[in-house]
């Protein structure tokens, strides 16, 4: 009984562990939307996260997802502490889990591209009516949703979508003639090998929206979120940091907020949730 009392006193008198002390022992899962293959994603993001670790004193681990639908399932269930996601994902992630955008590229905008083979006889989006078009995933914003919305709303054109998991697969399907066209975004086209780029022609570009943010789950303390935001912004002020961020690509980093993505709620994009 005496030992129990002493143990109780020790427990009562022990100082509370602060958020800072707890977080210093944490490893934060960092999800990356899988626009590229896993090796490419690790080559781009591991040096960025290593730099973040040095600047914040925290540990970060890339949490991979096999494809975009798997990535969506993981952020909707709150698997990521931080995540780089498309703007429409950001809206959905806030609604499902409370993820908050921290930073984004303020030097460019996001838009979708509809591509065909360079030698394709198709010269107008209306010529795609009823034809099979490759898209990376149902909720990919620029590569799928904006394109499908504009085909229907601006050209009264319905296509037969197939979803092939990645942007790389979209280009391969088009080049190999498996589909007559495909949806993607400019930044992924620019990263394709010359042998692919030389066989691709852009048929249509969509309207522009705010680009991908890096967002944080609300379970991450405000102090850690601010540390990460500040470190990323500081990287954007230095030559080496800018070079690392440009590979995402994020040409000019700045702060992000939910207001940046308000317009997406008005587009009725849920029509295309296949």
- 125-171 pLDDT, tens digit per residue, is 999 999 999 999 898 899 999 999 999 999 999 999 999 988 999 99
Residue 22 clears pLDDT 70, i.e. is over it: no
In a shared domain, residues 187 and 214: no
Instruction: Give the least confident one: 8-12, 29-33, 83-87, 104-108.
Output: 8-12
Residue 119 clears pLDDT 90, i.e. is over it: yes
The answer to the question of residue 12 being in a domain is: no
**Domain boundary pick from 155, 181, 205:** 205
Residue 13 clears pLDDT 60, i.e. is over it: no
The answer to the question of residue 42 being in a domain is: yes
What is the extent of the structural domain holding 268?
24-107+210-272
Mean pLDDT of 190-199: 95
In a shared domain, residues 60 and 29: yes
The answer to the question of residue 14 being in a domain is: no
In a shared domain, residues 167 and 191: yes
Calculate what percentage of the chain has a pLDDT beyond 70. Answer: 91
CATH number, position 231: 3.40.190.10
Quote the pLDDT of residue 1. 40
CB-CB neighbours of 124 under 10 Å:
10
Average pLDDT, the chain: 89
Quote the pLDDT of residue 274. 65
The answer to the question of residue 259 being in a domain is: yes
Whole-angstrom distance, CA of residue 145 vs CA of residue 222: 32
Element containing residue 213 per DSSP (H, E): strand 213-216
In a shared domain, residues 122 and 199: yes
Whole-angstrom distance, CA of residue 186 vs CA of residue 191: 9
In a shared domain, residues 61 and 92: yes
Residue 197 clears pLDDT 50, i.e. is over it: yes
More confident call, 75 vs 13? 75
Q: Using 50, 70 and 90 to split pLDDT, how confident is the model at 221?
A: very high
The answer to the question of residue 3 being in a domain is: no
Q: Which residues contact 139 (CB under 8 A, 6 or more apart)?
A: 68, 69, 72, 86, 88, 89, 92, 145, 273
**Domain boundary pick from 205, 228, 251:** 205
Q: Using 50, 70 and 90 to split pLDDT, how confident is the model at 25?
A: low
Residue 8 clears pLDDT 60, i.e. is over it: no
Mean pLDDT of 17-45: 75
Q: Taking a C-beta distance cutoff of 8 angstroms, is the pair 77, 177 a contact?
A: no
**Domain boundary pick from 156, 177, 205:** 205
Mean pLDDT of 60-67: 90
Q: How many domains, in total, are found in the chain?
A: 2
Mean pLDDT of 36-58: 94
Q: For 224-273, how does the pLDDT look when each residue is reduced to its tens digit (9 = 90+)?
A: 999 999 999 999 999 999 999 999 989 999 999 999 998 888 888 888 87
Instruction: Give the least confident one: 48-57, 67-76, 259-268.
Output: 259-268
Q: Which residues contact 49 (CB under 8 A, 6 or more apart)?
A: 30, 60, 61, 62
Instruction: Give the least confident one: 5-14, 35-44, 206-215.
Output: 5-14
The answer to the question of residue 96 being in a domain is: yes
Residue 188 clears pLDDT 70, i.e. is over it: yes
In a shared domain, residues 171 and 197: yes
The answer to the question of residue 80 being in a domain is: yes
The answer to the question of residue 191 being in a domain is: yes
In a shared domain, residues 188 and 254: no
In a shared domain, residues 39 and 91: yes
């Amino acid at each position: 009984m005496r030992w129990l009392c002493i143990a109780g006193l020790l427990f009562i008198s022990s100082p509370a562990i602060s958020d800072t002390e707890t977080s210093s022992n944490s490893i934060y899962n960092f999800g990356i939307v899988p626009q590229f293959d896993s090796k490419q994603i690790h080559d781009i993001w591991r040096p960025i996260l290593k730099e973040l670790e040095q600047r914040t004193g925290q540990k970060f681990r890339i949490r991979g997802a096999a494809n975009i639908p798997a990535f969506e399932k993981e952020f909707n269930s709150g698997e990521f502490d931080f995540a780089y996601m498309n703007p429409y994902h950001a809206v959905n992630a806030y609604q499902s889990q409370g993820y908050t955008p921290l930073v984004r590229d303020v030097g460019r905008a996001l838009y979708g591209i509809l591509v065909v083979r360079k030698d394709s006889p198709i010269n107008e989006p209306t010529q795609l009516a009823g034809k099979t078009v490759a898209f990376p995933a149902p909720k990919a914003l620029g590569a799928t949703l904006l394109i499908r919305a504009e085909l229907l709303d601006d050209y009264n054109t319905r296509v037969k979508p197939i979803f092939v998991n990645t942007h790389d697969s979209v280009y391969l399907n088009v080049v190999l003639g498996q589909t007559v066209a495909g949806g993607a975004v400019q930044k992924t086209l620019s990263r394709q090998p010359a042998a692919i780029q030389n066989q691709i022609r852009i048929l249509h570009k969509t309207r522009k929206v705010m680009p991908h943010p890096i967002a944080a789950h609300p379970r991450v303390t405000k102090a850690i979120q601010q540390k990460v935001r500040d470190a990323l912004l500081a990287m954007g002020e230095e030559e080496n940091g800018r070079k690392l961020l440009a590979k995402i690509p994020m040409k000019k980093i700045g702060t992000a907020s939910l207001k940046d993505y308000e317009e997406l709620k008005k587009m009725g994009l849920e029509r295309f949730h296949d």
